[in-house]
Amino acid sequence: MVQNSVEAAARAMARARHVVVFTGAGVSRESGIATFRDAEEGIWRKYDPMEMATLEGYLRDPAFVWAWYEHRFGIVAGAEPNPGHRAIAELEQLFDSVTVVTQNIDGLHQRAGSTDVIELHGSMHRFACLHREHGGFRLADFAGQEDRPPRCPVCGDLIRPDVVWFGEALPREELDRGQRLSAACDAMLVVGTSGIVFPAAALPLQAIHSGATLIDVNPEPSALSSQATIYLKGRGGDIVPQLVEELRTRREPG
Ligand code: BJW
């Protein structure tokens, strides 16, 4: 593990053609969105994941969990992509293919301009009924309803955010495509994840196993840092723009 050389990271990535960017909550931290496990401000310091992020917890107290999600929808609605998201989007100008595989549900990569984003844990901008028989709803679809949580307009069941809670399967197509691309990429840039939630965290391991260069950006060493080709200690919004700048000096567009 080589630490903290953006130049070395750019050198290691410079020959890549197919790049996967694997992100977690830390990439959105500088947009004002809390991570889950950070020591002081992590969401799971305040809330029990078994109450807030499982189907059983939702069924125990739907109104409480829904109110928590509404609070988070408000935070994300008022947030903007940060320089880390924007620099990740700029990578598309430099490599043949760039796919962002994110565990985040906030939609900030798309808002920053990334055009190929795989959402492994769903999206907070989409809603489904409890058993996902009916889906693709937007929050605005429930504007006329007083029920909290709202009810499915088709079957009357509880509405839930279309996100992946603990014990639930990840969306099949997204996971399959994420796995395929991770196994086939030349370089993977990991930004802002603790790398402990599976099966998502298996993707960087797959990339390493397949011989890809792995660059990990995180202010604190994560479960992945010691296995990375290069660990860049620092915030995504500081380091990723530097890395993209350094890559620009080494690569022709396209
Ligand atoms: C910065 C920064 C800055 C700070 N710049 N960086 C034991 C062993 C292995 C697995 C299991 C086990 N027991 C249970 C499991 C399975 C479980 C799991 O992995 N648990 C582990 C916690 C142990 N996994 C599941 O349950 C998954 N499903 C599953 O396994 O299904 C099996 C199945 C198959 C078939 C049928 C049925 C079932 C589902 C996992 C779902 C995770 N869901 C959540 C909530 C999403 C919805 C919501 O947000 O409301 O996803 S939990 C939460 O964790 C969220 C995240 O996407 C995910 C990952 O967290 P992430 O993004 O890494 O955030 P943090 O906070 O952990 O890390 C942030 C990092 O950023 C830190 O490192 C900071 O240092 C860094 N950082 N500032 C850059 N400025």
State the Cα–Cα distance between residues 60 and 165, nearest whole angstrom: 14
Output the pLDDT for position 39.
86
- State whether residue 181 is helix, strand or coil: helix
Q: Is the pLDDT of residue 254 over 90?
A: no
Tell me the CA–centroid distance for residue 179 and ligand 1, in Å: 17
State the Cα–Cα distance between residues 121 and 16, nearest whole angstrom: 27
User: Using one digit for the tens of pLDDT, what is the confidence trace for 16-29?
Assistant: 999 999 999 999 99
User: Using one digit for the tens of pLDDT, what is the confidence trace for 199-240?
Assistant: 999 999 999 999 999 999 999 999 999 999 999 999 999 999
- State whether residue 232 is helix, strand or coil: strand
Q: Give long-range contacts, CB 8 A cutoff, 24+ apart: 225-231.
A: 225/1, 226/1, 227/1, 228/1, 228/190, 229/2, 229/12, 230/1, 230/2, 230/3, 230/5, 230/8, 230/9, 230/12, 231/1, 231/2, 231/3, 231/4
Q: How confident is the model at residue 252 (pLDDT cuts 50, 70, 90)?
A: low
Q: How confident is the model at residue 126 (pLDDT cuts 50, 70, 90)?
A: very high
Residues 6+ apart with CB under 8 A from 58: 65, 158, 160, 165
**What is the mean predicted confidence (pLDDT) over 153-176?**
98
Catalytic annotation present for 109: no
- State whether residue 18 is helix, strand or coil: strand
Residue ranges lining ligand 1, Cβ < 6 Å: 24-27, 29-30, 35-38, 42, 53, 103, 105, 121, 163-169, 191-194, 196-199, 217-220, 222, 235-236
Q: How confident is the model at residue 4 (pLDDT cuts 50, 70, 90)?
A: low
- The structure tokens listed for 168 are 């639930």
Beta 122-129 vs 159-163: how paired, if at all?
Answer: antiparallel
Beta 117-119 vs 18-23: how paired, if at all?
Answer: unpaired
| Lowest pLDDT segment from 37-41, 126-130, 185-189, 249-253 | 249-253
Q: Helices marked H in 35-77 — which ranges?
A: 43-46, 49-52, 55-60, 62-77
Point out the catalytic residue in the list 18, 71, 109, 121: 121
User: Using one digit for the tens of pLDDT, what is the confidence trace for 27-72?
Assistant: 999 999 999 999 888 999 999 999 999 999 999 999 999 999 999 9
Output the pLDDT for position 40.
86
Tell me the CA–centroid distance for residue 93 and ligand 1, in Å: 30
Output the pLDDT for position 37.
95
H or E element in which residue 217 lies: strand 213-218
The preferred substitution site among 198, 203, 235, 238 for testing ligand 1, maximizing ligand atoms within 8 Å of CB, is 198
Output the pLDDT for position 253.
54
